């Protein structure tokens, strides 16, 4: 297939593009290489992809209407996977317009490109953050998601309803995927695993919010990619899936796994809960399993060890 992957230089986009290329698909990657975190890491990911047959890349911002019209005008795509977004709960409090530009205006350009050029299946990233103030675990796709507690989550909820309207009006097959705390090699420097690993190796205190009383459904990136690929190959009118490991892992247990992988103890800086954060997440993935036959399964200890091995090698740490 010919697949458009936006955010191709990003964490998940890189892993997905690599997997699609390795199975023989052609990938048109788009990324604006912004400075939300060190662009050198994004460029390193791109260098990996450029070494694989069938990869094309355009540096473009999905919020740039003319640039995206040029991307879509070149050829017809069998599928689109929209992973380009402004990520991060806490950053959305400080820089709200970045989220409107990338996650609302940018997604609108993706929808319009899909409509005007009659592309195939649209798969797009949503987030577990849409569950907001819901307290009933595990989260199921049928639960109400009208109470997001961060602008980031609100923009992702908006993506879901925008895609539904286009699926209904124009017959665009669309699938939204609610990712649950993705981690793994080549991960984002603003995420906990990266920051904790870097801090422990440097002998610095690591910030632990809500004094460590957090529970997350940590999901290894290869499991995310497997779920995305299976969804791409199974278009439907419109649907939403959770992709998570279906495991409640306490933050302190996650930190212990990092300590074990590094062979070093962490110096914890216990802090209060941050605005926009939730205390616990866990995914019910039965709908994904029923539709695709796949259920994420990588244990946290194994995934953390793979990240630490990558980090030590990449940074010569």
Compute how many other C-beta atoms are within 10 angstroms of the C-beta atom of residue 74: 12
Work out whether the CA dihedral 205, 207, 210, 216 comes out positive or negative.
Answer: negative
Q: 131, 152, 183, 220: which is the annotated catalytic residue?
A: 152
Compute how many other C-beta atoms are within 10 angstroms of the C-beta atom of residue 37: 17
What are the C-alpha distances in Å from 244 to residues 57, 224, 301? 29, 8, 16
Compute how many other C-beta atoms are within 10 angstroms of the C-beta atom of residue 60: 18
CB of 228 closer than 8 Å to CB of 179: no
Tell me how many degrees the CA angle 144-86-199 measures, rounded to the nearest 5. Answer: 105
99 is catalytic: no
> What is the C-alpha to C-alpha distance for residues 85 and 65, in angstroms, rounded to an integer?
15
User: Which residues 6+ apart lie within 8 Å of 215 measured at CB?
Assistant: 248, 249, 250, 251, 279, 280, 281, 282
CA dihedral 37, 40, 46, 47 (to 10 degrees): -160
> What is the C-alpha to C-alpha distance for residues 27 and 20, in angstroms, rounded to an integer?
7
What are the C-alpha distances in Å from 149 to residues 213, 217, 231, 282? 19, 18, 28, 17
Q: DSSP letters of 226-264?
A: HHHHHHHTS--SEEEEEES-S--EEHHHHHHHHHHHHT-
Residues identified as active-site: 152
């Amino acid at each position: 297939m010919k697949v458009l992957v936006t955010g191709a230089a990003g964490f998940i986009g890189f892993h997905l593009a690599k997997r699609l290329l390795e199975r023989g698909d052609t990938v048109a990657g788009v990324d604006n290489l912004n400075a939300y975190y060190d662009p050198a890491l994004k460029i390193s990911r791109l260098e990996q992809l450029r070494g694989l047959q069938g990869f094309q890349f355009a540096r473009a911002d999905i919020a740039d209407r003319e640039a995206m019209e040029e991307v879509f005008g070149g050829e017809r795509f069998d599928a689109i996977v929209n992973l380009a977004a402004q990520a991060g709960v806490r950053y959305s409090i400080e820089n709200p317009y970045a989220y409107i530009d990338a996650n609302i205006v940018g997604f609108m350009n993706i929808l319009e490109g899909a409509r005007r050029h009659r592309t195939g299946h649209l798969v797009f990233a949503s987030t577990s953050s849409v569950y907001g103030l819901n307290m009933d675990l595990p989260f199921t796709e049928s639960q109400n998601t009208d109470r997001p507690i961060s602008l980031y989550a609100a923009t992702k909820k908006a993506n879901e309803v925008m895609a539904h309207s286009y699926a209904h009006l124009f017959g665009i097959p669309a699938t939204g995927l609610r990712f649950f705390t993705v981690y793994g090699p080549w991960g984002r420097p603003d995420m906990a695993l990266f920051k904790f690993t870097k801090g422990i190796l440097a002998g610095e205190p690591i910030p632990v919010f809500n004094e460590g009383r957090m529970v997350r459904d940590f999901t290894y990136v290869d499991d995310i990619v497997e779920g995305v690929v299976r969804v791409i190959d199974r278009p439907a009118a419109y649907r939403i899936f959770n992709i998570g490991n279906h495991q409640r892992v306490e933050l302190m247990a996650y930190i212990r796994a990092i300590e074990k992988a590094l062979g070093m103890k962490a110096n914890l800086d216990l802090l209060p809960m941050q605005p926009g954060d939730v205390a616990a997440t866990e995914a019910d993935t039965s709908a994904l399993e029923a539709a695709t036959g796949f259920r994420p399964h990588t244990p946290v200890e194994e995934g953390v060890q793979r990240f630490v091995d990558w980090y030590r090698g990449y940074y010569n740490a």
